[in-house]
Amino acid sequence: MTTVETPFIRTIEWDMMDKTKFYPLSMLSSFSVRCCLYPLTLIKTRLQIQRRSHMYTGMIDAYRKIYKLEGISGLYRGFWISSIQIVSGVFYVSTYEGVRHILNQDIMTAQLDSRIKALIGGGAASVISQTIVVPFDILSQHLMVLGASFKHGKLAFDKTGMNPLGLTLEVGRSRAQLSTEIIRLIYQQDGLKGFYRGYVASLCAYVPNSALWWGLYTTYQDELIKTLPNWVSHLLIQSIAATMGGFTTTIITNPLDVVRARLQVQRLDSMCNAFRLLWLEEGLLMFTKGLSARLVQSACFSFSIILGYETIKRVSIHEEYKSYIRW
């Protein structure tokens, strides 16, 4: 007598969840992950904006020097501005799930491969998210590099160093005062468009990254389910698939992320100019600039976000579907 394998839901769809549970838990999870991993974001940005390896030789060296010279607060510079991104995260998730829901409902697109739906949803979600988050991203990046100056072609951090806006890191100023001053200087020098400097570069970097990540996440998940025994946790499979997807997309899109950071912080006038300067300064090393920190960040972020995201989806699922869920 053959045993029939109990069917389970591989992907919890948007209409299967109680949104009153999902949204608050999702925001809490997102904030917790960003709080833990923010130092990696700061280190990645510092590595990306330095010329060659004059200040930091790598991720570990950057961590040691920042902690020694600036303390734990240095590793969290600009965090509270950046944490506003959890709001954009709500729009991101809603767009991703909403687009997939629409594709599932539409007769013309319902038969599309799940990987294609995930790719389309991820790309659309990133467009909405970046439109909201770029101004806050610019502000937090200016705070990250506050006190930076290029002396004799080398990047240095001290109390008198000016950031590209001409703002010095003066003792006694609160973070709120510094943030207000940066906003004033950006508006004074560039007007409203200054808050969207590098917006196109952000779209070029993050839309393909998001689309690829969700597409690869779905692909890796399907392949791992086929390969691994049935007793392996489905949540663990999803977390591993997310990590693998994060690694792949990070390697592919890293140069675009470096260009985005240079455009937003060093106030370059175009993507072409940023690419040209990067090539002149770094050569082929431009493809690996800040890559180690970004890979670690991406792996930790992907694993943590999906672990929290898929757990919350399971907790938020309607009672009628709970028996079809595999942890």
pLDDT value, residue 3: 39
Strand-pairing partners, residue 150, are: 155
Q: Which neighbouring-strand residues pair with 162?
A: 168
Give 104-152 pLDDT, tens digit per residue: 887 766 677 788 888 888 889 888 888 888 887 777 777 766 655 444 4
Least confident of 40-44, 49-53, 177-181, 183-187: 49-53
pLDDT of residue 42: 82
Q: Report pLDDT digits (tens) over 211-243.
A: 888 889 988 998 998 888 888 899 999 999 999
Calculate mean pLDDT across residues 304-321: 88
Q: Return the closest-CA partner of residue 137 out of 84, 66, 100, 206.
A: 84
Rounded Cα gap, residues 181 and 179, in angstroms: 5
For residues 7 and 69, the model is more confident at 69
Domains in the chain, start-ordered, CATH in brackets?
Answer: 16-315 (1.50.40.10)
Amino acid 220: pLDDT:
92
Tokens of 254: 């890293």
Burial 23-56 (b: 16+ CB within 10 A, else e): bebbbebbeebbeebbbbbbbbbbbbbbeebebb
DSSP letter for 317, please: B
Average pLDDT (3-29) is 78
Mean pLDDT of 44-51: 73
Alpha-carbon distance values, 105 to 102, 120, 194, 203, 242 (Å): 5, 15, 40, 28, 26
- Nearest-Å Rg of the Cα atoms of the chain is 21
Instruction: Say how many C-beta atoms besides its own lie within 10 A of residue 16's C-beta.
Output: 17
Nearest to 189 by CA among 136, 132, 138: 138
**Does 201 have pLDDT greater than 80?**
no
Bigger pLDDT: 7 or 309? 309
Alpha-carbon distance 128 to 85, whole Å? Answer: 12
Q: What pLDDT band is residue 286 in, cutting at 50, 70 and 90?
A: low
- Contact between 324 and 68 (Cβ < 8 Å): no
Which residues are CB-contacts of 320 (< 8 A; sequence separation ≥ 6)?
Answer: none
- Could you please report the per-residue DSSP string of 79-144? HHHHTTHHHHHHHHHHHHHHHHHHHHHSTTTTTS-HHHHHHHHHHHHHHHHHHHHHHHHHHHHHHH
**Dist CA 291 CA 198 (whole Å):** 20
What pLDDT is attached to residue 241?
93
Pick from 274, 219, 266, 273: which is nearest to 242 by CA? 219
Q: What are the CB-based long-range contacts (under 8 Å, 24+) for 160-169?
A: 163/265, 164/265, 164/266, 164/267, 165/189, 165/267, 167/142
Residue 159 reports pLDDT greater than 70: no
Exposed/middle/buried for residue 110 (C-beta within 10 Å: 0-12, 13-18, 19+): exposed
- Across the chain, where does the E strand assignment appear? 148-151, 154-157
